[in-house]
Amino acid sequence: MKKLYDMLSVARPGKSVSVKKWTEKYIDSMSKYGHFYIDKIGNRYITVGKDPKIAFTAHTDTVHFQEGILKLVENKETSTLRAVDSVLGADDGVGCFLLSEMIQNGVVGLYVFFVEEETGGVGSSYSVEKHFQIYKGIDCMISLDRRGTTNVITHQGGSRTCSDEFASNLSLALNSFGLEYSPDDTGIFTDSANFVGIIRECTNLSVGYFRAHSTEEYVNLIHIQKLRDTLLKIDWNKFSISNKKGQGVKSQEESVVEC
């Protein structure tokens, strides 16, 4: 978890020098694990394995207004971590950490690190507009950017982003390793919302941070460790939406939803 502490110790406002350096250090350094691409506004794409069906996403910016190094304090009794007199920025440093662990351990997937989510999903809006071809063949997008420890988000801003069936199956898969997830329709907004209509199942997963966007923000370290281990163990092939006839273009009739 040393890497998590290090990743969380930098305040990273969108477009700042800090977020640029941080991204180079923690994300670009993983380019050796897959096919790596940076688009014009700085979104990072890493494809691990052949023809992934699932996209995992996180955002590199934090809600901080000022750059700087944060002083972190761990409470050993509660296994929580927070920053002294500051937002922690675990939203979405934790998501970036989890994606980096999956990449380093060879979990097949398209990994996307979006810029400037906190200022209105700038990176993901750009990506879906300019680079939608990157998502060809992707059946599900799972953002790792939700507070708490139990939500598989089915709706963002009141609009459906994934089916109940998908959310239930993802919950079951997570829970088979001792977690306690369930479908939840109270999502607000994260990057995956911008892919509704392009990707069939778009969700957001709780990653163990609480009270984001406030100086009270903290993380549950036990949950992050458990979730990290679980994300590496899940058989993600179960979540692909395969075409029964093995033909190119999917339609509701032709496809079987295995998730």
Contacting positions for Zn ion (CB under 5 A)? 91-92, 145
In the complex, minimum distance from the CB of residue 105 to Zn ion, in angstroms, rounded to a whole number: 23
- Both tokens of 179, joined, read 């977690």
Report the residue number, 92 or 184, with the smaller CB distance to Zn ion: 92
Report the residue number, 92 or 101, with the smaller CB distance to Zn ion: 92
Which residue, among 99, 125, 5, 118, has the nearest Cα to 61 in the 3D structure? 118
Alpha helices (H) in 157-259, listed in sequence order: 164-175, 221-233
Sign of CA dihedral 112, 214, 15, 187: positive
How many angstroms separate the CA atoms of 240 and 132, rounded? Answer: 19
Alpha helices (H) in 105-163, listed in sequence order: 122-130
In the complex, minimum distance from the CB of residue 30 to Zn ion, in angstroms, rounded to a whole number: 20
In the complex, minimum distance from the CB of residue 63 to Zn ion, in angstroms, rounded to a whole number: 8
Residues 94 and 144 sit within 8 Å (Cβ to Cβ): yes
Report the residue number, 47 or 190, with the smaller CB distance to Zn ion: 190
Report the residue number, 91 or 217, with the smaller CB distance to Zn ion: 91
* 3-class secondary structure, 111: strand
Report the residue number, 192 or 240, with the smaller CB distance to Zn ion: 192
In the complex, minimum distance from the CB of residue 145 to Zn ion, in angstroms, rounded to a whole number: 4
- Burial class of 100 by CB neighbour count within 10 A (0 to 12, 13 to 18, 19+): buried
How many angstroms separate the CA atoms of 56 and 142, rounded? Answer: 5
Residues 86 and 64 sit within 8 Å (Cβ to Cβ): yes
In the complex, minimum distance from the CB of residue 132 to Zn ion, in angstroms, rounded to a whole number: 22
